């Protein structure tokens, strides 16, 4: 795992504690070049994390708990007509996850009680 981090970031600090607590080995990559605004570094970082915030934890291509949280949020974004045009990375990750069996079987539309769907009960 690779943690894109800044030593004073409290958000990165939390993730470092959790990784050490779990005994998960990780490599720390400083976002110094990003913070200094070096264009290539900024573009590369935004491609990974469109918020531009730290930290960003990269764990290969396998789905993580972050993806488990992301996919239902993307579902709701689509449901309420929120455009994800500005978030190509989020769309790419969600589409990849949705192609995996575990995500496919968990989709709201294929749940047994989905047939009880009543559009008039929408808020
Ligand atoms: N919800 C995010 C918030 C991350 C966040 O706010 N990070 C701050 C540092 S603690 C940040 O990147 N600020 C912009 C900057 O330092 O340039 C998380 O908990 O990871």
- For residue 62, is pLDDT > 90? no
Nearest-atom number in ligand 1 for the CA of 13 is 10
Closest residue to atom 3 of ligand 1, CA basis: 11
Question: What three-state secondary structure class fits 62?
Answer: coil
Ligand 1 site residues (CB inside 6 A) read 9-11, 35, 53-54
pLDDT tens digits along 9-53 = 999 999 999 999 999 999 999 999 988 999 999 999 988 887 899
- Residue 41: which H helix or E strand, with range? helix 39-48
Residues 46-61 have a mean pLDDT of 88
Q: What are phi and psi of 2, to 5 degrees?
A: -125, 130
Task: Tell me how far the alpha carbon of residue 89 lies from the centroid of ligand 1, in angstroms.
Answer: 18
Record the pTM.
Answer: 0.66
What is the percent of the chain where pLDDT is above 90? Answer: 70
Closest residue to atom 2 of ligand 1, CA basis: 11
Q: What is the DSSP letter of 100?
A: S
Q: Which domains does the chain have, with CATH numbers?
A: 2-58 (3.40.30.10), 65-111 (1.20.1050.10)
């Amino acid at each position: 795992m690779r943690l894109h981090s800044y030593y004073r970031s409290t958000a990165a600090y939390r993730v470092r504690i959790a990784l050490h607590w779990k005994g998960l080995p990780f490599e720390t990559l400083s976002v110094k070049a990003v913070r200094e605004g070096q264009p290539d570094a900024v573009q590369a970082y935004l491609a990974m994390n469109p918020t531009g915030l730290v930290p960003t934890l990269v764990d290969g291509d396998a789905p993580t708990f972050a993806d488990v949280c992301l996919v239902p949020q993307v579902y709701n974004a689509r449901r309420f007509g929120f455009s994800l045009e500005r978030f190509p990375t989020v769309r790419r990750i969600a589409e990849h996850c949705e192609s995996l069996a575990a995500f496919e079987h968990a989709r709201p539309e294929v749940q047994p009680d989905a047939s009880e769907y009543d559009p008039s009960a929408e808020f």
